[in-house]
């Protein structure tokens, strides 16, 4: 597959649904409960309209033993957290427990982060309150909206992963 850009287009009828096109592959996706926005803010529930490079990924090792991807994917451990506290120096960064400021657990009880790819939204060039933990991950049942991420079905993630590498662009229109 030649494409280096994964295009996320809004799906008709529901602001929290999208269609992803990557080369010849087209799959449904869930996006933020507030739809898409060019003015992303922490906690707004919107997916940023932007072109974001994939940086790396995480996986639940006890649930997924093998993933085929040229992207660097690390096994998630119980002490891995992601800081979402805008006034903290670690804002929008991976941190280790124990960690008191607001954060997300990477080793979730649900399956959303069984495969979790980090998109470069507010990471390389960070600004307070511009949004954190904007990931490409797995869906909730029924393609329920995300908090601002892009999410796909596990079978579709497995179809896409072999072609996704560091620098692959996720372009939300």
Mean pLDDT by 10-residue block, N- to C-terminus, for the chain (173 residues)?
84 96 96 98 98 96 80 95 98 98 96 97 96 97 96 96 95 98
- Please choose, from the candidates 154, 133, 167, 148, the residue with its C-alpha nearest in 3D space to the C-alpha of residue 31: 148
Q: How many CB atoms lie within 10 A of CB 125?
A: 7
Distance separating alpha carbons of residues 64 and 17, to the nearest angstrom: 26
What is the pLDDT, as a whole number, of residue 46? 98
What is the pLDDT, as a whole number, of residue 3? 66
CB 164 within 8 Å of CB 82: no
Cis peptide before 61 (omega within 30 of 0): no
Distance separating alpha carbons of residues 149 and 170, to the nearest angstrom: 11
């Amino acid at each position: 597959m030649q494409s280096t850009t994964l295009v996320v287009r809004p799906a008709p009828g529901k602001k929290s649904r999208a269609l992803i096109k990557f080369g010849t592959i087209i799959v449904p996706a869930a996006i933020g409960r507030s739809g898409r926005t060019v003015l992303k803010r922490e906690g707004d529930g919107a997916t940023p309209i932007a072109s974001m490079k994939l940086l790396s990924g995480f996986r639940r090792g006890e649930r997924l033993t093998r993933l085929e991807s040229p992207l660097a994917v690390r096994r998630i451990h119980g002490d891995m957290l992601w800081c979402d506290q805008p006034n903290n120096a670690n804002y929008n960064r991976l941190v280790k427990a124990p960690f008191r400021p607001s954060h997300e657990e990477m080793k979730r009880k649900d399956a959303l982060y069984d495969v979790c790819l980090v998109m470069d939204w507010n990471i390389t060039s960070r600004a307070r309150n511009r949004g954190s933990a904007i990931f490409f991950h797995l869906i909730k049942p029924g393609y329920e909206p995300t908090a601002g991420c892009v999410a796909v079905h596990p079978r579709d993630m497995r179809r896409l992963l072999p072609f996704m590498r560091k620098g692959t662009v996720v372009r939300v229109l």
